[in-house]
Structure 1
Amino acid sequence: MKRCEKCGVEVTGNRLRCPLCQGTLLQTTGETREIFPVVPTLYRQYHLLFRLLIFASVAVGVVAVAVNLLLPESGAWSVFVAGGIICVWLSLALAVRKRKNIPKGMLYQVALLSIICMIWDFATGWNGWSIDYVLPILCVAAMAALAVLSRVFNWETENQMIYFCIDAIFGIVPSILFFAGCLRVPYPSVISMAVSLLSLAAVAVFRGDSIWAELKRRLHI
């Protein structure tokens, strides 16, 4: 048992500071066990696997830089290897952080991967593949995955449909690039736009009342 002289309260467990004033606690009796269990994080549960992956990533980056320095005439390709490793870890970190809300995580992944691919496209001389292919394909893939996973895991319909609508709206973005004349290959974007519009129409027709009720609840309308 520990005691805070300032607040005059006794605190059980292994705390070092008072939960009220954050002052230092004084030991009054023998050591007591923590009353709240320590919940292991995902990193603690799989700390060895994460450490192995981190070491492997560092090893690949170091070897790539070393080989590139020995063969300078081959160009600065090690920069792209290091950038690829960083991009993989960014995507993995986002997936771990949003693992409790898969629909939101998928939506964030679409945005992150689209931005990463645009940066890579720009860094390699801008051939337009990021907006011609990657962006519309990611949007269609995310909508298809949400539709399948919602059936498999029996997600809350209203909650899942909101993210489905957001992703469908996001899938219309390629159409903006299409009408602005920024695309070299328009077919993937046109398909993405068609799938998005059909998805929004299906949600509005078959789940419109549920979606509106959920939006009113969330927005306190």
Structure 2
Amino acid sequence: MSKCRNCKIEILDRTGVCPLCHCVVEQDGSEREAAYPDVGIREKRFALIIRIYVFLAVMAEALLVFINVNHHKGIWWSAITAGVFIYIYLIMKIGIQNDAGYRSKIILVTIFSIGLLFLIDEVAGYRGWSLNYVLPAGVIMLNVAIILLMIVNWRNWPSYLLFQLFCILCSIFPIILWKKDVITKPFLSEIALAVSVFLFLGTFIIGGSRARAELKRRFHV
């Protein structure tokens, strides 16, 4: 902001002379805040941090693979460290993606977590705990997240019906694996399916006309 001592006025424009008397103005050192700040600066900084992390992760993983190959050939634990590095990278990418909704982020984080634990189980000799317990537990956690989100955002609770249908589909997947003899202990998978179905039915029945209207709007019927 500038001031003209001759006209006794303040000038908001960035100019060196007064528009009235054309005398040189004085700067008071204050600047107007931009109405629309550059929101991309924060994302660019995070992108730089991610690139630095990728470089360090690649260097570290290369060293760990070298150690694994030359000194510990019994188990490929370096695959687990690679999975951890990738997991952290994906979490960081999700964190800076403002265009991705929180529901999408919750789903992706859950999928990545299950995938990492499955990798650990596989590298360690595969004892089946990742599919028997972790997979259905992830579905149950998604349902718990839905309940909490519906409580927090209770005015917009019908929007979570589609999320609940997604959980039902996810809970059917472990049942299919059980029928294919991939999952050997289906107890938690059955609980996950029951929780998903009952949560959807409860929301649909209690929601009444608002729930039916939301489903019609989502599926264009």
Q: Is TM more than 0.5 here?
A: yes
User: Which residue identity lines up with residue 144 of structure 1 in the other structure?
Assistant: V
Counterpart in the other structure of 1:216: 216
- The answer to whether the 8 A contact 2:84-2:116 is kept is no
Which stretch shows the higher mean deviation, 98-107 or 133-142?
Answer: 98-107
In structure 2, the partner of 1:110 is 110
Q: Cα offset for 1:138?
A: 0.3
SS of equivalent to 1:172: helix
TM-aligned CA deviation for residue 141 of structure 1: 0.6
> Does the CA-based 8 Å contact 2:204-2:212 persist in structure 1?
no
User: Do residues 163 (structure 1) and 160 (structure 2) align?
Assistant: no
Instruction: Give, in angstroms, the shift of residue 121 of structure 1.
Output: 4.4
Q: What is the alpha-carbon distance in structure 2 between the residues aligned to residue 173 and residue 209 of structure 1?
A: 30
Letter in 1 for 2:184: R
Aligned to 2:200: 200
* TM-score, with length taken from structure 2: 0.65
Aligned to 1:28: none
Structure 1: state its 5+ residue gaps. Answer: 1-34
In 2, Cα distance between the equivalents of 1:200 and 1:46?
38
CA contact 1:121–1:128 (8 Å) conserved in 2? yes
Q: Aligned pairs, how many?
A: 187
- Could you tell me how far apart the structure 2 residues matched to 1:218 and 1:117 are? 34
Distance in structure 2 (CA, Å) of the matches to 1:84 and 1:137: 20
Name which of structure 1's ranges 116-125 and 210-219 shifts more when overlaid on structure 2.
Answer: 116-125
CA 162–187 in structure 1, closer or farther in 2 if over 3 Å, else same: same
Contact preservation (8 Å) 1:168, 1:199: no
What SS does the aligned partner of 1:194 have?
helix
Does structure 2 retain, via aligned residues, the 8 Å contact 1:175–1:189? yes
CA offset at residue 49 of structure 1?
4.9
Alignment map for 1:116-127 (pairs within 5 Å): 117-118=117-118, 121-122=121-122, 125-127=125-127
**RMSD of aligned Cα (Å):** 3.4
Deviation at 1:80, TM superposition (A): 2.8
Aligned to 2:13: none
Structure 2 CA distance for partners of 1:157 and 1:142, relative to 1, 3 Å: same
| Matching of residue 135 in structure 1 with residue 135 in structure 2 | yes
SS in 2 for 1:156: helix
Structure 1 residues 141-185: Cα deviation after superposition (integer angstroms, max 9, x where no partner): 111022113323557212223212322332232223334433222
Cα distance 1:64–1:96, how it changes in 2: closer, same or farther (>3 A)?
same
* CA distance, structure 1, for counterparts of residue 42 and residue 160 of structure 2: 24
Unaligned runs of 5+ in 2: 1-34
Structure 2: distance between partners of 1:155 and 1:88: 34
Contact 2:83 2:119 in 1 (8 A): no
CA contact (8 A) 1:107 1:142 kept: yes
Post-superposition offset of 1:187: 2.1
Residue 81 (structure 2) aligns with: 81
Preserved contact between residue 164 and residue 196 of structure 2 (Cα < 8 Å): no
SS class of match (2:40) = coil
Could you say which residue in structure 1 is the equivalent of 2:18? none
Runs (4+) of structure 1 exceeding 6 A deviation are none
The answer for the alignment partner of 1:65 in structure 2 is 65
Cα displacement (A) at 1:140: 0.3
Map of 1:173 onto structure 2: 173
**Cα distance in structure 2, aligned partners of 1:155 and 1:117:** 36
Q: 1:114 to 1:208 in 2, by over 3 A?
A: farther
Larger Rg: 2
CA distance in 2, matches of 1:69, 1:178: 36
